[in-house]
Structures are given as structure tokens and as C-alpha cells.
Amino acid sequence: MFDGRVLLKQVILLFWPLISTWVQGAEKIDSCQLQVLEMLSSLGSAGGKSAKPSFVSYVTPEEIKSEKEPSRKEKHPDLLPGEVVFCSASTVLKYTQDDLSQRGVFGVLLCTNFRVSFVSDEEPTEEMLFKNKLYGENDIPLSCVDNIYGDKRKLITGGLVKNKYPSKMIIHCKDLRVFQFSLSFSKEEDAKKIFQGIVHHCLEPKSLRCLFAFSYCENTSYPGSYTVENTSYPGSYSYCREHLMWCWSHHSGCALFKTASIPLVQEDNVPQTYMEKMLTAVAHNHLYSVKTEDLSDTLPTVQDILLSYNKFKQFFLIDNTTEFWMSDMKWFSSLDNCGWLDIIRQCLQKAVEVVESLEKENTNVLIMEEGGSDLCCVVSSLVQLMLDPYYRTLLGFQSLVQKEWVAGGHAFLDRSNHLHLKDKVESPVFLLFLECVWQLQQQHGPAFQFSETYLTVLSDSVHVPVFTTFLFNNDGHRDSLLRVKTHAVWDWSVQFDCKAQDLFTNPLYTEKPKQDTSVRKSYRPRHLRQLSLPSSAFKTPPKKGFFKDEADNLKKILGVKRLSRWMLSPSSDSPQTSSSVREFYEAWQTKPLDYHGLLLPCLDGPSIRVWMQRYLRWIHDVQILGGGPVAMLSKVSEILGEVQELQRQLDRHGCTLTSNHKGARPRAKTAAAVIAARSSVRLSSSFPFVTSRNWAFKPAIPTSLLQSLMVTGMPGNLADREDDGGPESLV
């Protein structure tokens, strides 16, 4: 029986070109063809393991090049400097999700030291408007591969793959793309090789040196290369595993600090001296009281964050439309149960608490956690975003990330686990931070110079192993490994051309009004001053008299037990804290909103939302064609472009514009030109990630509508009643 199958398979492979032309010629596949295709695909999988087709109901290979055995050496993407092809297989079918019906395209699947790449046999269709120069829409950088599934949606783990290979391979990417490949039409040894190659390079442990960035950097001398160290912490506070780290100073003189918390297992007197040292450091120059918060006590752990995110992302990794619509009815409760939005809310809430201490109570704040470089980074950067408008500009945000995250010692390498090492704790902490920023931006759009697209692209770039920004665990680590010039993620020209980069600016952003010109001159140096360590030059605060007692008291407490919560806050239990935050928010809310001043997020249920652009961009069924917020923003950009053009004309006339025109004179480029040029093209809610081509003008009609709608437990069984049946039907 088995031998017979193998024989049959060989026969089929022999006549494959013939069969393929037959398939190609068919406009629509009939059931007979479907059966043969199913048989073929089941035979294609080694050993004919599953005779059942995968969940895709039918396949219409759109086109197969009729030329026999397309030479695979010719088919490869434009390789980057230092990129090497490991293996490849031709006649791989990639399922496309462009239409409501699932169809596929044949092509070559390759695995290089940078990416998994699919090169379609078809002529490339229209150019992507928002094209990434490093990888195309059918490329997956190796570190961007999240999970690989085989037949019957079995999760593939590295190291277990021997001679078998699945007939169908599904790749889930960290940027939420989903690829489905059928290997059943390829030559057996090719299919085996490519599958094993992909699994090996994407899932199995590797050494840091194998990451593509190293070969890339050695092979490029990029003129715009960045020296990453240009915005690191001044002075010796470069790394906070053992140090106290100053983050930001409020204009009143109080400041935010972060540190690694006291190790739990210690001799009794060690934490005391350690903590004492910390507090003296904070208190010495600053005659203010100190609030201390151990974030490990109040915020979720990095493991919690990973668990929650893993559940959350599943809602968007869609490889089956029916399942997608099935899950739609339970969407809100699923979202609730995975807890991701709640983690975002908790981080924002903690940041607001810290802001309150700095802004309202003018106390120093020291946040800590084990390691001091995960949630401390999240909270400290959020605090600065809320308090300091500089960090809401493109340049400011970049320096914030460099300062708090890169120089602040966030273990990017371990947290993104590029090396697939078992002993490292992977966790999307940086993504969590970007999520929080997105929430702020969503609520207070005009306050941010960068756009939503910028954040989305930044979140994707973490998984592009070309940039060294997010590749190391800390600065020391970086310095010990980097001998060559490196590429920072901030050099966006590596990934995008100028026009695409224009989409990073937010057309709603306005610079500080003009009347402040004189103020602004001194305003920039103020930031520089803030970047330097606070000196004792600050005025003696009125609280001076009390401080000594408090500090002594504090030291006493410290000697007894591990620090937790707000040491000096009168409201140290959680409900009170949250109500105080609520009051703080409400007081802030009653004042007129200043986009260049303090910003606070609303934390009510309906205000914390899902980052639609990032998570829904690839899901065809939920794209709003010709709609979405971009429809509005593009109109703003259009007008902004016109205004800027008029300004240039006026400038040519030597007209000085004296009036206070908010944001009328942009220094940064805007998206105006880009979008205006495209106004003929219909935008969708997935703009700019998915463009208009291949739009099906059929609407997506939700399937399985009623299955989960249970209207039970209604008094008197209302659901069965008549609308207006009169009294008789009400009985």
C-alpha cells in the first residue's frame, strides 16, 4: 500500500508540468479537480500522513509558469550586502488572502541568513507605496518569525525535525503577518531542505554573531551610519543594575530616579546599607522628601506580560476567515480575559501616580524593580512623555528611547530572544511601552509630532536584525561586541525612502505658539540642563525642616523590612491611591488642555483601546475600504500641504508672517505631499501597510452570526415574544 503511494507520487511528479498546465487552464476548479489536488497534496506530504486536506476548503492556483522546472538559481530576491542564501525550493504554493476565496500563487521559497523569502513566479504587481527597502511583503526577517505550524496546525519546535516535513507550513510573524505555504507541489528533497532550513534558522538556538546585523554591518559602509552612543546618559550613570539612575528633573527641583531593587536573599544588614546609600544619594542634593516604589509589587511581572501578550496576539494571527468570524462575537470578553489592555492601563496608572508626586507634591520619586530595566523603563519613559513635551517630538522620543531603554540597560536581546535560548525570559516589554504611548497619542493626538505609523514601524523594527539599537542587553554588552560601524534604527532611510518617512509625522501636531519665540530660545537649553545631573543649585524647598525627620524615619523602616509602595504617601493602600489618581486626573481635566504641557491619559474602560493599525492591518475582512481615521487625517494633510505651499509663495514675496500661526511653519516634513499625490487612490483603514490593489468590492459578511448570541435568562422569555402581538401573544 505504502509502496504504491510512493510510486504514484513519483508518477505524478514526473507528469507535474502537465498536471500544472491542466490546473492552470481551469478557470474554476470543479470537484473532480479538487479531489485530485487534495490527493496530490496529501501525497506530497511525506508518508502521505494526512489524507484530509487542510482547513482551506479549496485552492485555485492562480497561475503556474508553464516553463518546465523553473530554475531556482535565477529566482531570488535582491540580496542585501552580506546576505547569503541557505536553501530554496521551487513550486511552493503561497496562499493569498487577498480575496474572500482562498487562492494561491506559486513561487520559490528561500531561506537566507537574513530572511525567509517567497519569490512569486508571477510578475510583481504594482509597487507598494509604503515599501520597506530591507524586506518586501513576501519576506520575513528571521527574527520576525514567531511561530511555525505544520499540518493540522501542529506547533513546530526546533530540534525535533528529522526527515519529516509537513505538506503545509504556516508562519506567524511578530509583526502579525501570517504566511501559509504548501510544500506538496515541490520536489521532496527541496521541500525537506527548505522546511528544515527555516526551522533551524528561525527556531533553534544560535549565537549572537550569527545575527544578520553583524554580516550586514561588515558589508556596508553606510554614509549615514549612526553612532549609537550619542545620546547615552551623561556621567557614570550608564547602567543601573547596581546604580541609582537619575531619569528626569521637574522644574521644581524634585526628580525621578530608578534603580534595581534590593536582592531578596541578603544578609540582614546589607539591604539597609544598600538602601541607605541609595536614599542618601537621592536626598543629599535634593532637600525634598522621597517616595519609593517597588514596581515588582504593583505591576505585572515580565512573565505575566508575555503570557498576556501571547493570548492577545492570537486574536490577530488569522489564517482562517471562518474562525475569525466565529471569534468575533466573543471579542470583547476574550480581549478582557487576556488582560493585555489591563496591563497597559496599570502601567499608565503607575506613571500617572509618579507624575502626581512630582508635579503636585514635588517629591522625589525612586522607582525600582528587580534588575531595574523593564517596568522601570516603561514607567520612567511614560512619566517623561506626560510631563515633558520635548519627548513628544520625533527627536525627543528617539532620545527618550535611547536614554531610558538603550542606555538604561533594557535587555533587548533577552527580551526579544533573538537567539532562542531556553534560559532567557522573553517578554514584549518595549512593545508594552509603545502600546502605552499609542494610548496617550490616541487620546491627545495634537500633542505628538510623530504619527501612529511611526510607532507601528518602530514596533516592527525591533524584529529586523539589521539594527544594533535593539540587539543588546546593555551598553557594555554592545561595546564589547561591536567593532564596526553600526546602523541605528533611527536612520530611517535604511528602511524607507523620504516619501514613506513623511508618514511618520503627525499632521495634527502644532509647535508651540509663536509668541513664545523668545521663551523657546531658553527652552531648549533647559532640556540640556535637564539632561545633566541635577545639582544642588536648586533653591531650598520649604519642606526642608521636615525632611530630616522623615528621612530618619524612613531609614528606620528600611531596616525592618523590604520597601514597598509609597513609603511616605498617606494613602498607601491601592483603592485610595487610585482614587487620588482619579482626583488628580479630574483636577487636570478641568483646566484647559495644553498640548505643550502636562498630559494625562483617561484610564476609564472605554478609553483604553486596541491599537487597530498595528493589529488589524493585515486582516482583509476588517479593512474599511475608503474609510478609517486615515480618511480624515489625509484631508488634514492635504490642507496642511496647501498652507505650506502658500507660505513658501508668501516667503518669496518677502512677506513676514507675524501673526501667531500655530504650526504653520513646519520644520519637519509632513505627509501632505505623499497623501495628496495619492488622493486618487482609495485609502483603507490599513493604510499605509496595505494599499488598494486587489480590492474585492464584495463586503465581508460575517458568518456564524447567531451561534454565540445567547439571549437566555430574559424575564418571561422575551426573545420568543412578538413585537406587537397584542395581549394574546404576551401570554
Interaction residues for other proteins, span 642-671 (CB under 8 A): 642-643, 646-647, 649-650, 653, 655, 661-662, 664
Query: In this chain, which of 51, 587, 632, 681 binds other proteins, going by CB under 8 A?
Result: 632
Size of the site for other proteins (CB under 8 A): 81
Residue 586 found at the interface with other proteins (CB under 8 A): yes
Which residues partner with 96 through β-bridges? 103
Round to whole Å and give the CA distance between 377 and 249: 16
Question: With binding defined as CB under 8 A, does residue 705 bind other proteins?
Answer: yes
List the one residue out of 282, 228, 233 whose CA is nearest residue 257. Answer: 282
Q: Which 453-472 positions form the footprint of other proteins (CB under 8 A)?
A: none
| Backbone phi, psi, residue 167, to 5° | -80, -25
Nearer to other proteins, 280 or 708 (CB): 708
* Nearer CB in complex with other proteins: 14/677: 677
Q: What are the backbone dihedrals phi and psi of residue 81, each rounded to the nearest 5 degrees, phi first?
A: -55, 130
Burial class (CB in 10 A: 0-12, 13-18, 19+), 531: middle
We find the least distance from the C-beta atom of residue 581 to other proteins, in angstroms, to be 12
For position 629 contacting other proteins by CB under 8 A, the verdict is yes
Our CB check for other proteins shows the closer of 25 and 605 to be 605
CB of 317 to other proteins, least distance (A): 14
Site for other proteins in 595-624 (CB under 8 A): 602, 604-607, 610, 612, 616, 621-624
Stretch that binds other proteins, among 210-218, 256-264, 531-539, 628-636 (CB under 8 A): 628-636
Nearer of residues 104 and 389 to other proteins, judged by Cβ: 389
CA distance 413 to 423: 12
Candidate ranges 268-276, 296-304, 496-504, 711-719; the one touching other proteins (CB under 8 A): 711-719
Amino acid at 44: G
What is the distance between the alpha carbons of residues 375 and 147, in angstroms, rounded to a whole number?
26
Give burial (CB, 10 Å; 0-12/13-18/19+) of 571: middle
Site of grid cell 561586541: 481
CA distance linking residue 215 with residue 194, whole number of Å: 22
Do 228 and 469 contact (CB within 8 A), yes or no?
Answer: yes
Strand order, beta sheet including 244-249: 244-249, 255-260, 364-369, 290-294
Smallest gap from residue 308 Cβ to other proteins (A): 14
Beta carbon of residue 583, minimum distance to other proteins (angstroms, whole number): 11
Among 35, 273, 532, 729, interactor with other proteins by CB under 8 A: 729
331 binds other proteins, rule: CB under 8 A: yes
Q: Which among 90-98, 222-230, 251-259, 697-705 is the span making contact with other proteins, rule CB under 8 A? A: 697-705
Say whether residue 636 binds other proteins (CB under 8 A).
yes
CA distance 437 to 385: 8
By C-alpha distance, which of 81, 82, 93 is closest to 40? 93
Residue 589: CA count within 13 A, CB half-sphere: 10
Q: Which of 154, 483, 693, 721 forms a contact with other proteins (CB under 8 A)?
A: 721
Q: Which of 124, 159, 476, 627 binds other proteins (CB under 8 A)?
A: 627
- What is the nearest approach in angstroms of other proteins to the Cβ of residue 60? 21
Nearest approach, Cβ of residue 55 and other proteins (Å)? 20
Of residues 480 and 729, the one with the C-beta less far from other proteins: 729
The correct pick among 500, 640, 673, 690 for binding other proteins (CB under 8 A) is 640
Three-point CA angle 281, 283, 288, nearest 5°: 155
Kindly state the DSSP code that residue 465 receives in the 8-state scheme: T
Q: Does 157 bind other proteins (CB under 8 A)?
A: no
- Cβ–Cβ under 8 Å, residues 690 and 633: no
For other proteins, the closer CB: 415 or 444: 444
Q: Examine residue 333 and tell whether it contacts other proteins (CB under 8 A).
A: yes
Answer left, alpha or beta for residue 338, where phi above 0 means left and psi between -120 and 50 means alpha: alpha
Min separation Cβ 380 and other proteins, Å: 26
Q: Which stretch binds other proteins (CB under 8 A): 182-190, 269-277, 474-482, 581-589?
A: 581-589
Q: What residues from 494 to 533 belong to the interface with other proteins (CB under 8 A)?
A: 507-508, 510
Residue 325 in the binding site for other proteins (CB under 8 A): yes
The whole-angstrom separation of Cα 170 and Cα 202 is 13
Q: Is 163 or 656 the residue whose CB approaches other proteins more closely? A: 656
Q: Left, alpha or beta for 650 (phi > 0: left; psi -120 to 50: alpha)?
A: alpha
Q: Which is nearer to other proteins, 542 or 592 (CB)?
A: 592
Question: Which string of x and - marks every residue 528-567 that binds other proteins (by CB under 8 A)?
Answer: ----------------------------------------
With 0-12 / 13-18 / 19 or more C-beta atoms within 10 angstroms meaning exposed / middle / buried, residue 556 is exposed
Decide whether 146 or 328 has the Cβ nearer to other proteins: 328
Asked if 3 touches other proteins (CB under 8 A), the answer is no
CB within 8 Å of 663: residues ≥ 6 apart:
509, 510, 511
Q: Helices (DSSP H) in 31-153: which residue ranges? A: 31-44
d(C-alpha 503, C-alpha 213), whole Å: 26
Whole-angstrom CA distances from 167 to 150, 320, 385, 673 are 7, 17, 49, 46
Of 105, 106, 110, 104, give the one whose Cα is nearest residue 74.
Answer: 110
Minimum gap (Å) between residue 431 Cβ and other proteins? 19
> Binder to other proteins among 574, 589, 594, 681 (CB under 8 A)?
589
Answer yes or no whether residue 1 interacts with other proteins by CB under 8 A. no
Q: Kindly identify the residues of this chain, within the stretch 107-136, that bind other proteins according to CB under 8 A.
A: none
Nearer to other proteins, 128 or 636 (CB): 636
- Angle of helix 452-461 relative to helix 429-443, nearest 10 degrees, comes to 180
Distance of CA 718 to the CA centre of its chain: 45
- The torsion of the CA quartet 601, 607, 608, 614, rounded to 10 degrees, works out to -100
Using the rule CB under 8 A, is 420 a contact of other proteins?
A: no
> Is 307 a residue that touches other proteins (CB under 8 A)?
no
Q: Closest separation between CB of residue 629 and other proteins, Å?
A: 7
Q: Residue 643 and residue 65: Cα distance in Å, rounded?
A: 51
Q: Does 34 bind other proteins (CB under 8 A)?
A: no
Of 328, 359, 369, 370, the one binding other proteins by CB under 8 A: 328
3-class SS of residue 85: strand
Q: How far apart are CA 585 and CA 346, in angstroms?
A: 15
Which residue is it, cell 468575533? 328
What single-letter amino acid sits at 463? H
Q: Which is nearer to other proteins, 573 or 642 (CB)?
A: 642
Question: Does the protein bind other proteins through residue 422 (CB under 8 A)?
Answer: no
Q: Which one, 341 or 503, has the nearer CB to other proteins?
A: 341
Task: Name residue, grid cell 476565496.
Answer: 101
> Could you say whether residue 579 binds other proteins (CB under 8 A)?
no
370-399 binders of other proteins (CB under 8 A): none
CA distance 466 to 495: 10
Least Å distance, CB 439 to other proteins, is 13
347 part of the interface to other proteins, by CB under 8 A: no
639 forms part of the interface with other proteins (CB under 8 A): yes
Give the footprint of other proteins on residues 428-447 (CB under 8 A): 443-446
CB of 452 to other proteins, least distance (A): 13
